Each structure stands twice: as C-alpha cells, then as structure tokens.
A and B are shown apart, each in its own frame.
Chain A
Amino acid sequence: MKIITLLKRAPDTEARILINREGTGIQEEGVKFVISTYDEYAVEEGLRLKEKMGGDSKVTVVCVGPEEATEMIRTALAMGADDAVHICDPAIKESEPFITAAVLAKAIKDNGFDIIFCGKQAIDDDMAQVQSILAEMLDIPQVNVATSFEISESGDKAVLRRRIEGGDEKVETQLPVIISCEKGLNEPRYASLPGIMKAKKKEIRTKALADLGMADAQGEIRSKILKWLPIPKGGECKVVEGEDVPTAVKELVRLLREEAKAL
C-alpha cells in the first residue's frame, strides 16, 4: 500500500510571532519551527497503517516548503516514514492553498498513492483548504477532521469517525482517499535513536517546480494575501478588590461609570 503523509513546516505554537515591517510575513528571527501539529497525527496514522498492512507498504512524506523544512522531514523519517518528496522552489514563496495543492497533486500522482493523510489545517495560517482542493484535483473522496481510522480487512475501504458538535459521525469510504487528521486520532510517537540514525540515510527527493513539469506556478494563484497585520492590542484587565462584596460592587459600578463610561 502506498501511503502518503503531507507535512508542513510551521512556527512552534509557543513561538512569539511578530509581523515583519513590510507586512508580508512574520519575523523569522528567534522563531522555532516544527512539524505543524496536526500533520504529526497524519504521519503517525500513516505509520500505524503501514505497520498494520505490512508487506511492501510504504510511507512517503510529501512536503512543500523551504529548504529548512528538511529538518521536519527528517523528524518524520525518524518516526519511521520510508522516504520523502520535498518540493522546494523559490517560486513558491508564500503559502497559497491552490498552488500548494496543485504542486502536491502532481508530486503525489508521480509517486503513486493509495491513501493520503494530512493535518486538518496548518497551525500557522489555519486555512484548512489544501486537503479539499487536493481531493478535487486527484478526484478522490475526502474525510476531514478524523478522530479514528480503521482500514477494512481487504484494505480497499476504511471506517472513520469525525468529531462534530455534540457527537461522532461514523463514515465509510473507499480507497484511495484523503484524510485530514484531528487531535485525538492518535498519540504521535517519539522517534527512537536508531530511528533518528536511520533517518539520516533515508532518501529525500528534492524537487523544483520544473521537475514536476510546472514551470509556471504563479499562474495558479487564486487568492492573494494583501497584508499581514498585527492583532490590535486588547484593553487592559482590572481586578476590583474590596474588603467585602458590597464595597467591591460599589467600586465596580463607580469604575464602570467614571472610567469606562459604560453606564
């Protein structure tokens, strides 16, 4: 079974994000990057499926991203993925879902696939579009925000659960399929040291757009980010302290009237 897991390099959730002066992106200095959290669930689920199917099943990581994304790809390889395709081209400057999906579609088609796992959204731009565009481009079904996944005996169908408001939805799908993963689907493994050592020797096929026969990526852009803006600062919080509740309430009313002018 050819298992594809998609992976994006994204700023660490704890990183202090500042917009750059031009408003075209974030200041990368001092920001640590990681595998986008939901993509880790995708890698893990891919590995679990491979372990279950056995035989010549193979997990291939496919990543669109800058050179630095190699580090994240190696982490996925250390977890146990077999090889990787890294589409790295200066022409793909910013993260635009249509381009990303188009590039991924081409790379995945070239590689061959039976099932694709990806995160339900990237933790940086939260667009959650790539999986759907990709599903259309590959003309395969998609199941989003999966919280459980089970492959059928024959390996041509899968049963999934999706967490929706107030309950779970149980879905059956044919393969090939693209599945976007939600927290709770699994607990991603911590790469073992032999895994890390082996990952250093695993193949990462780095490809430029030209290698995919897609010289003109810019033509695919459907949306454009005009400007990145900092979040406006919220108002300050004030805790009203008083000896007892009535005094505190009196003080609160006074503040609301005189300072906040809300009353």
Chain B
Amino acid sequence: MAIQGIILLVIFVAVLAAFGYIVRLLYRLLRKGVDEDRFGQWAQRVNSVVVFVGAQARVLAQPAGIGHFLIFWGFIFITLGTIEHILGMIFPGFGFEQIFGTKATGALSWLQDVFGILVIGSIIVALFRRFILKPERLKIDDPKARREATLILGLIFVLILLMYGFRGTAILMDPGEVSRAAAPLSHYAARLMSGWGMNLPIANGIFAWIHHLIIFFFLIYIPFSKHIHILGAIPNVFFRNLGPMGTLSRMDFEDESAEKFGISEIQEFTWKQLLDLYACTECGRCQVACPAYLTEKPLSPFRVIHNLRGHLMDERKRLLSAGGDGDASPQIIPETVTEDELWACTTCGACMQECPPFIEHVQKIVDLRRFLVLTESRFPSEMQPVFKNMEVNYNPWALGYASRADWVGDMPVPLAAEKKSFDVLYWVGCAGSFDARGQDVSRAVVGLLQRAGVDFAILGTEEMCCGETARRMGNEYLAQTLIESNIETFKKYEFKMLVTACPHGLNSFRVEYPQFGYEIPVLHHSEFLLDLIRSGKLRADGIEKARGAYHDSCYLGRYNGIASQPRDILRHIPRLGLAEFPRREKRSFCCGAGGGRMWMEETLGTRINEARVEEFLGLGADHIFVACPFCMTMFEDGLKAKEREDIKVLDIAEILLAACKTNTDSP
C-alpha cells in the first residue's frame, strides 16, 4: 500500500466514523420524539420507495423534477464509482471488475459517464433557475438556506468535472483502463486534456484527491444542511402515511392532572414528525401550492419545516445530554413558528399533496394550535364566540340549537326520532341548517331524495356540529365532546349509511369518527346522487344553456379523492357546458375557509377566495358549481367583492334539482 493509500485510508475511515456518529446522533434525536405506529403494511412501504424514490413519481410532477431525477440517479451511479475508486487508491489493483465481472462494471462505468454530463446539465439548469429565473417556489427569506443551496449545487458541479478529470487522465495514462464504449465522455475528456501538457500522474492524483475530499466534506456537511434529505427522504417515504390524508391524532384526556395539552416543545412531536424535518430539501413545491403563502400571508409550509429543523438542531445538545430533560425547554412558539403562521393555515393539504418525500405539515400545525387553544387559551379573539356557540348551541353560528331544523319549513322531512329505522341518514350539517344558502342546498338535497323515493331521515335538533372545525382549530376537547354526543345519537337509530352535502362532515365521519369507535358507510351527496342517476331514479332533462366550472373542495377532491362524481353529475345535465379550473381535483386551490378559517378574520395579505374567483373569471363561464357549503360562502363573498354577482354559485344538488324539475313525469 502506497503512502498515499494509507493517508486516504486514514481519512476515509475517520470520515466514515464521523459520518456514522452523525447518523447515530440524528437517529438518537428522532428517538427523543414520541412513539408513533408507522409499522406494518411492509409491501406497500417498499412499493412507495420504488415509486416515489426510485421512479421519483412526485418529483417528476413538475418539469424541473427531471433535473432532480437525473441528479438522483447520477448520484447513485457516480457514488458507486467513487467508492470503487477510493478503494482502488487504498488497495492498488482493487476493482469491481474482479467481483461483478466485466459486463456489469462496464455498464456501471457507462452510467457514471453518461449521467455525469446529465448532472452537469441539470446543475446548470438549476443554477439558472435559482439565479436568473428565481421562481416563487425557491424563495426563502433565510440567507443561510440560499447559501447552502448554492454551495451544494456548485460543489456537485465541480465534483463531476473532477470525475471526468481523473477518469480522463487515467485513460491518457493507460488507454486500456476503460473502453470507449464504457466511458465515451471520459474518453472525450481525455482527448481534450491530451493537449494540455499536464504531468498525468500528478494531475490524476490531484483531481482524484480533491474529488474525494469534497465527497468527504459532503458526508460531514450534508447532515447539517438542507441536503439532509439525502438521508431523511427515503425513510420518510418508507414510513409515509398510508392511510387517509391529514388525519389528526386522537388526544387522550383521561389524565385530569395534566397541565399541558398539544405541542410546544420540539421533542413532543413523534419520531415520524421529526423525521419529516430531515426529509425536506426546501424545494418549495408546497409554498407555491399554499393558499396562505400565495395571498401574502406569513405562512410557507416548508419554512415551518425549515425552522423546526433548525430549532431541533440547535437543541440537539440539550436533548441528547443525560440530564437535559430537567432544563426548561425552549418553546416553539413564537421564536420558531409564529402564531400568525399557525392561524394562516386552511389545512387544505395542498402542501402535503405536492411534497415529494410526503412530509405532513398540517398535523404539525394543528398540534401546535392545540397547545395554543387548550393549554394557553390563546387564539384570535373572533374564535372565542365560535367555540362558545359550538359548546352551547352545537353550531358555529350564534343561533339557537332549537332552530336547527327550521330550514325544513313546510317540507315533509321525516325525523330520525319518529322513524327509528331507515336507509339513509341525511346529515344536514351546521351550514345546511343555519346558513341561508346552505339551507337552499339542504332543501335541494331533500327534494332530490324525495324525487328518487329514498327512505331517509334527518336528526333535526338532535344533530350537533360534527366537530371538524373545532378539531382543526385545535380545540380537540370541544371536538371530542361533540363527536361523542353525535355517536351516542347515531347509535339510537338503525340506518345503512350517512349522506352529507358537507365535505368537512364527510371527512370527519369517514376518517375521524372511526378513531372514536364509530364506523358506518358515509357518502357525499355527489356520490349518492350520481348513483341515483345511474340507477335511473333521477333523470336530468336539462336546463337553459349555461357554462360553469366545478370547484373541488379540498376535503372532497384532495382528502377523499371525490372529483369525478360531481363532474359526472354535471355531465348528465343536457345543455350544461363544463369549463375546468387550471388548479383542480387533487391539486385544487382552497376557497380559504378550511381549518376554521371560515370563522376567522382574514386581515393579513390578500383574500384567498378572491384569488380563486380571479382564477374562475379567466374561464369565461357564468356558473361556479360547488359541493361544499363553505366554498359556497367564500365564492359568493369573493364575487361580491369583485362586483361579479352576475355569476351564480350553485351546489351540484341545486343545479341537478333544477334540471330534474324540467320533467314533470317522475322521476
């Protein structure tokens, strides 16, 4: 072993030891988090890694992702080559060829060579985007984060050049080193360098040494930079949430001596929530999908993650020291995450839909809200009457619960209390009961159910708020009170399914009530009405010619994947033309009302609903079709603000009923 090899071996071992130490530190930090069960469903987990890491499915959702795909696979092939080269320098004569044979090694060499140039191309594009195009999604106000990104891109660029340098000089020294077929670009580099008159062995040594030292630097530097995602993203995809999107954890209120609820310190997150922090590389896809960010509010999902990771790293010594638990832990709010950021979130989930390594932003935001509401009783003042209304009158409006079924008027709507047993429990919801337009929708739904001869009932004044809004506002205690009361009421009656026109209720019953031990099939009215059309129980004969666009509610299209059904209903209506929002289905843009935002003032930035209305106005349509009472309100308000009240906002049930009414012979 040459002296050079011994020095390299010593450095290599030292760096590997340091890297191992850092990885262990990161692992120990994760273990400081609370337990969370992300085990089981192994085949699906492996499959996730294949699809979302190997094939980079989410990364490739945007054109810029091609660059990442090339850098990712280039990194893998080139790293293998680098390992071979380092071992070859330490143990002269070592090569993969002896282990894997000529064919495989030749293929690897070719991949290294070809991906090298592709990586260079990708880096140039990336630098061009970062410094010339400056797209909104790469914007971050932390200069350290920007420096990091530039440093890493620059170093990768240099690394590839150096790789061609040492591969090319090796070819010049020994033309038999690697065939032209297995290393076309290195041979090209060799030809270029042949005229430079370098001392080949020295040049080769310098190229290789600088290259390897940069790699060693990376190993130490990366875990403390945003490129920690190289370590975090793959396990994060592996341990991703395989269940329904954005499901909130059920809090336990058994311990009556507890002084604290919700999360205010970093180690109170679960290990998976902390792993999320390692997985973010600040690509900013969440940022440009976030309705709060896009309307100039102080929230950017990835900045929350970025700041939480910074906080976790700052706290690592305290967290890992043996007696560290006794120290006063620094609070996350407001130094790391501000209250304004937390309350700006509509919980629309667009960030989670976009995130390539499946970071779950919304649950963290709600966990922090829980602390503010439950422990500190600190929240925007307009939320207090909402909570009180829900406590006293079981609805967020300041309206007496006894008037919950007043919308029925003269319609013969059967009550569950009278019928006891029926097929469908129509869940009217708070908006359907108290909001004037919501009531119109409820009457339309009832009209359709009666037309189709459905055996249904409503709960009337027994119905209480489903708890969804309170839950997402962080008031888990109030939410659980409502959830438990509703479950008690459900259990009194015999019915086959719940049907509701409110996506928030739908998500709550379908996904969250099972946490409290109650499961029943739950259908959104769009699903149920479409079934009625398909089975011939409803027939839409048409309306006067109109052109409309359907807006996907977040809790319908994104959270529950219900996007085709409402559109199919509209397609069944003759003479109705359909336009489409550019942002739609799973990637729809929030109306601004989710996460309790419906009940809060929107004082920061511009208004989300107006942004969405502007998007609609570009379509040249005259109707907005919605399938959510909150979206209805937000659109009507937005149209008022834009003085475009000539545009009608209709629930799909309303337009369907209007279309059915044109035929007088039943159905």
* A residues whose Cβ falls under 8 Å from a Cβ of B: 12, 14-16, 30-32, 34, 187, 189-197, 200-201
Contacts and interface: CB of A to CB of B under 8 A. Distances in A.
B376 A192 contact: yes
B21 to A, nearest CB: 41
Nearest to A15: B400
Contacts of A187: 381, 384
A15 B258 CA distance: 35
Nearest to A14: B400
B375 A32 contact: no
B377 A191 contact: yes
Contacts of A30: 402, 461
B256 A200 contact: yes
B393 A12 contact: yes
Nearest to B395: A14
Contacts of A200: 256
Given A14-B398, A14-B399, A14-B400, A197 B257 contact: yes
B434 to A, nearest CB: 11
Given A187-B381, A190-B384, A191-B377, A32 B401 contact: yes
A30 B376 CA distance: 33
A193 B387 CA distance: 13
Given A30-B461, A34-B392, A194 B260 contact: yes
B256 A193 contact: no
Nearest to B376: A192
Contacts of B398: 14
Contacts of A15: 400, 402
A32 B390 CA distance: 12
Nearest to A200: B256
Contact of B374 (A16, A34, A193): A193
Contacts of A197: 256-258
Contacts of B477: 193, 196
A254 B642 CA distance: 40
Contacts of A32: 392-393, 400-401
A16 B377 contact: no
Contacts of A190: 377, 379, 384, 387-388
> Which residue, of A192, A196, A201, has the highest number of chain B Cβ atoms within 10 A?
A192
Contacts of B256: 197, 200-201
Nearest first, the 3 A-B pairs at minimum CB distance are A14-B400, A192-B377, A193-B374
A192 B258 contact: no
B460 to A, nearest CB: 12
A39 B471 CA distance: 29
Contacts of A196: 477
Contacts of A12: 392-393, 400
Given A14-B392, A32-B401, A194-B259, 8 more contacts: A16-B400, A16-B402, A31-B402, A187-B384, A190-B388, A194-B258, A197-B256, A201-B256
> Which residue, of A14, A16, A191, has the highest number of chain B Cβ atoms within 10 A?
A14
Interface string B372-408: 0011110101001001110011000011111100000
28 contacts: A12-B392, A12-B393, A12-B400, A14-B392, A14-B393, A14-B399, A14-B400, A14-B401, A15-B400, A15-B402, A32-B392, A187-B384, A189-B377, A190-B377, A190-B379, A190-B388, A192-B376, A192-B377, A193-B258, A193-B374, A193-B477, A194-B258, A194-B259, A196-B477, A197-B256, A197-B257, A197-B258, A200-B256
A192 B374 contact: yes
B261 interface: yes
Contacts of B381: 187
Contacts of B403: 16
B375 A193 contact: yes
Contacts of B261: 193-194
A197 to B, nearest CB: 5
> Which residue, of A31, A190, A196, A197, has the highest number of chain B Cβ atoms within 10 A?
A190
Interface of B: 253, 256-261, 374-377, 379, 381, 384, 387-389, 392-393, 398-403, 461, 477
Contacts of B389: 14
B448 to A, nearest CB: 30
A194 B399 contact: no
A195 B401 contact: no
B478 to A, nearest CB: 10
Nearest to A187: B381
Nearest to A16: B402
B385 to A, nearest CB: 10
Contacts of B260: 194
A255 B232 CA distance: 78
A189 B374 CA distance: 12
A201 B387 CA distance: 24
A135 B477 CA distance: 40
A193 B258 CA distance: 9
Nearest to A195: B377
Nearest to A13: B398
A192 B384 CA distance: 12
B262 to A, nearest CB: 9
Contacts of A191: 377
Contacts of B377: 189-192, 195
Nearest to B253: A193
Nearest to B384: A190
A194 B402 contact: no
Nearest to A17: B400
> Which residue, of B259, B261, B381, B400, has the highest number of chain A Cβ atoms within 10 A?
B400
Contacts of B400: 12, 14-16, 32
A196 B259 CA distance: 11
A135 to B, nearest CB: 31
Contacts of A201: 256
Contacts of B258: 193-194, 197
B560 to A, nearest CB: 30
A16 B256 CA distance: 35
A30 B394 CA distance: 13
B254 to A, nearest CB: 11
A256 to B, nearest CB: 31
A201 B403 CA distance: 35
A15 B256 CA distance: 32
Nearest to A78: B377
Nearest to A191: B377
Contacts of B375: 192-194
A123 to B, nearest CB: 13
B231 to A, nearest CB: 37
A12 B381 CA distance: 20
A188 to B, nearest CB: 8
A112 B2 CA distance: 93
A201 B257 CA distance: 10
A207 to B, nearest CB: 26
Contacts of B253: 193
B386 to A, nearest CB: 10
B548 to A, nearest CB: 30
Nearest to A29: B402
A247 to B, nearest CB: 25
B435 to A, nearest CB: 15
Contacts of B388: 190
B471 to A, nearest CB: 14
A34 B400 CA distance: 12
A207 B393 CA distance: 31
B66 to A, nearest CB: 49
Nearest to A34: B392
A206 B400 CA distance: 31
B232 to A, nearest CB: 33
A15 B402 CA distance: 7
